[in-house]
């Protein structure tokens, strides 16, 4: 049977990313239709308001103008995640912090990690490895108003309004890639004898004749309506590795003159952490915690203290987090993408990243006919499972190498039974050798050597090093001085972040 009619169940960022990726890939395929069915009654979760740099290439490939994106989606630029108080305050000071930068480290080519490890480490690793940290700390943007779209002096991602982003993606998918958008609630699923999906029952009368499709993509969010509720695909719980299970989220209006950090702030507390994302007119803040170590009442108290505001004056909601992923992401004639396939806490902007990555993988390997399901699904499931496991390792890294011992939450995060064998082996290796690109051998490691370097050495991980050659040390010292010199020059050249955003909203950027 040829695949002609495809349904995406659920909208939001994940659904519309799938619609654009698939719509573009299948645009030239004859007699193939793509329909996105979105409930008019269920609001999107809207947790994912941060992206990584990969989103630039995605939007560019969709033919979306970066100017339109910034102007229509309340966008600010993101150059880093600033981790505050992830280390012991007694050893490293109150409000200790490090940057997980987006620029690839070592702009002059030589690996400076051994050099930094040989110093007294008073200069942060990020400032030896890159000039971007200085730009972030100075409150500057990653480009000037004359820089063409999707290009920058530094590497950047975005902060955005998730609801408006989904609307922009929807418009693009429908207008450019002929995606059909239907507003209806999916109330039931009819299965074939072989266990695959035959059709969807919708609550809209005018859709009754068109509820049968050949292939289905589940973007229904946490409910995982197709995969878990109807196809009975098992969920693999990972709460033994990642202990967070709840977030209290709030939006805080800001003054139009306030500085806008060009980074996400992630501030650790005794039972989790707080995200703080600045858009032009508001901050999105989430108090993330483990209910095993802190009750919701205390969490709200601490969030109010962090904001220096009365929570009763601000609309807020609590979101339970079921940490883990599906046993299979592709089963029969259905694939799950987005929150329906799994969830980990949004510490490294993984929600949008994984949805984008998985949608792209599906679009690149989409079946022509049913006979291809078996081998394509095996390949897809193997790749995406590996991807999820490595994402969980990377999130766990932030906790298990911390020297915080001020609560049971931090102590329990160091227990060996909560750390995968893969991560244990890497950490053992990195006690003697600094991370190298060769430590990451799969294309499905969406966090690579540069990400681990910034986190490991931002958190002062101990790597013993052999004696460095005189030539290496001399060259590395010169490189570090050049990085600092270039950082100082850029601090005097780049505009303030809010100034840049205001100019883009007023004048736009240069087209490529």
Helix or strand (DSSP H, E) at 274 = strand 272-278
Burial of 183 (0-12, 13-18, 19+ CB in 10 A): middle
Place of tokens 């996400």: 264
Query: 15 with 36: CB under 8 angstroms?
Result: yes
pLDDT reported for residue 17: 98
Domains of the chain: which residue ranges?
5-74+158-238+323-390
Question: 5-74+158-238+323-390, what's its fold?
Answer: FAD/NAD(P)-binding domain (3.50.50)
Weakest-pLDDT range from 91-95, 204-208, 326-330, 412-416:
204-208
Q: Give residue 428's Cα distance to chain centre.
A: 27
Q: Could you tell me the two tokens for 116? A: 């930094």
What confidence tens digit (pLDDT) does each residue in 226-243 have? 999 999 999 999 999 999
Gap between the Cα atoms of 120 and 134, Å rounded = 20
Which element (helix H / strand E) includes 33? Answer: strand 33-38
- Residue 342's DSSP bridge partners are 325
CA atoms within 13 Å, Cβ hemisphere of 489: 7
What is the distance between the alpha carbons of residues 376 and 22, in angstroms, rounded to a whole number? Answer: 16
% of the chain residues with pLDDT over 70:
98
The partner residues of 317 in beta bridges, in order of sequence, read: 249
- What is the pLDDT of the chain when averaged over all its residues? 96
With b for 16 or more beta-carbon neighbours within 10 A and e for fewer, the 343-364 pattern comes to bbbbbbbbbbbbbbbbbbbbbe
Q: Is residue 256 over pLDDT 90? A: no
User: How many whole angstroms separate alpha carbon 106 and alpha carbon 131?
Assistant: 9
Token code pair at residue 174: 């429908």
Distance from chain centroid for Cα 457? 21
CA distance 377 to 372: 8
Write out the two tokens for 314: 């601000």
Q: pLDDT, tens digit, for every residue of 433-470?
A: 999 999 998 989 999 999 999 999 999 999 998 889 99
Residue 208 has pLDDT above 60, yes or no: no
> What token pair was written down for 419?
């750390």
* Overall pTM surpassing 0.85 (yes/no): yes
| Residue-wise pLDDT tens digits, 71-103 | 999 999 999 999 999 999 999 999 999 999 999
Residues 131-155: tens digit of each pLDDT: 999 999 999 999 999 999 999 999 9
Q: What is the mean pLDDT of residues 202-216?
A: 77
pLDDT at 463: 98
Cα atoms in the 13 Å half-sphere on the side-chain side of 174: 13
What residues have CB less than 8 Å from 237, skipping those under 6 apart? 322, 323, 324
Calculate the CA dihedral of residues 489, 493, 498, 501 and round it to 10 degrees: -130
């Amino acid at each position: 049977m040829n695949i002609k009619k495809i349904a995406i169940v659920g909208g939001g960022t994940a659904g519309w990313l799938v619609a654009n990726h698939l719509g573009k890939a299948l645009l030239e395929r004859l007699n193939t239709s793509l329909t996105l069915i979105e409930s008019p009654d269920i609001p999107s979760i809207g947790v994912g308001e941060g992206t990584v740099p990969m989103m630039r290439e995605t939007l560019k490939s969709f033919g979306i103008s970066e100017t339109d994106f910034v102007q229509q989606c309340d966008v600010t630029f993101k150059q880093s995640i600033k981790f505050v108080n992830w280390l012991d305050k007694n050893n490293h000071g109150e409000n200790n912090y490090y940057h997980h930068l987006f620029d690839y480290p070592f702009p002059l080519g030589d690996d400076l990690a051994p050099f930094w490890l040989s110093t007294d480490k008073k200069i942060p690793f990020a400032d030896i490895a890159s000039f971007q940290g200085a730009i972030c700390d100075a409150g500057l943007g990653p480009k000037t108003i004359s820089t063409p779209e999707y290009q920058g002096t530094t590497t950047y991602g975005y902060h955005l309004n998730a609801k408006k982003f989904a609307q922009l993606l929807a418009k693009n998918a429908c207008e450019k890639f002929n995606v059909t958008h239907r507003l209806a609630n999916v109330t039931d699923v009819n299965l074939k004898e072989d266990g695959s999906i035959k059709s969807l029952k919708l609550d809209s009368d005018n859709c009754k004749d068109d509820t049968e499709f050949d292939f289905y993509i589940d973007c229904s969010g946490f409910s995982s309506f197709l995969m878990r509720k109807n196809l009975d695909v098992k969920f693999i719980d990972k709460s033994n590795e990642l202990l967070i299970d709840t977030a209290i989220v709030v939006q805080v209006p800001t003054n139009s003159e306030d500085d806008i950090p060009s980074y996400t702030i992630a501030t650790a507390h005794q039972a989790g952490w707080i995200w703080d994302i600045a858009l032009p007119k508001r901050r999105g803040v989430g108090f993330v915690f483990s209910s095993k170590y802190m009750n919701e009442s205390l969490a709200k108290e601490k969030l109010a203290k962090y904001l220096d505001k009365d929570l009763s004056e601000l609309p807020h909601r609590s979101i339970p987090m079921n940490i883990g992923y599906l046993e299979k992401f592709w089963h029969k004639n259905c694939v799950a993408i987005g929150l329906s396939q799994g969830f980990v806490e949004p510490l490294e902007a993984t929600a949008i990243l994984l949805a984008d990555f998985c949608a792209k993988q599906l679009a690149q390997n989409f079946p022509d006919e049913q006979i291809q399901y078996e081998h394509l699904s095996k390949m897809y499931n193997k790749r995406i499972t590996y991807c999820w496991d490595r994402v969980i390792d990377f999130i766990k890294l932030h906790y298990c190498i911390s020297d915080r011992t001020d609560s049971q939450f931090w102590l329990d995060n160091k227990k060996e039974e909560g750390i995968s064998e893969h991560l244990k082996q890497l950490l053992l290796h990195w006690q003697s050798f600094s991370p190298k690109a060769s430590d990451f051998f799969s294309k499905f490691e969406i966090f690579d050597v540069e990400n681990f370097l910034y986190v490991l050495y931002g958190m002062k991980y101990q790597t013993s090093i052999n004696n460095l050659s005189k030539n290496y040390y001399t060259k590395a010292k010169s490189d570090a001085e050049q990085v600092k010199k270039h950082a100082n020059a850029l601090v005097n050249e780049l505009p303030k972040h809010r100034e840049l955003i205001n100019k883009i909203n007023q004048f736009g950027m240069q087209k490529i």
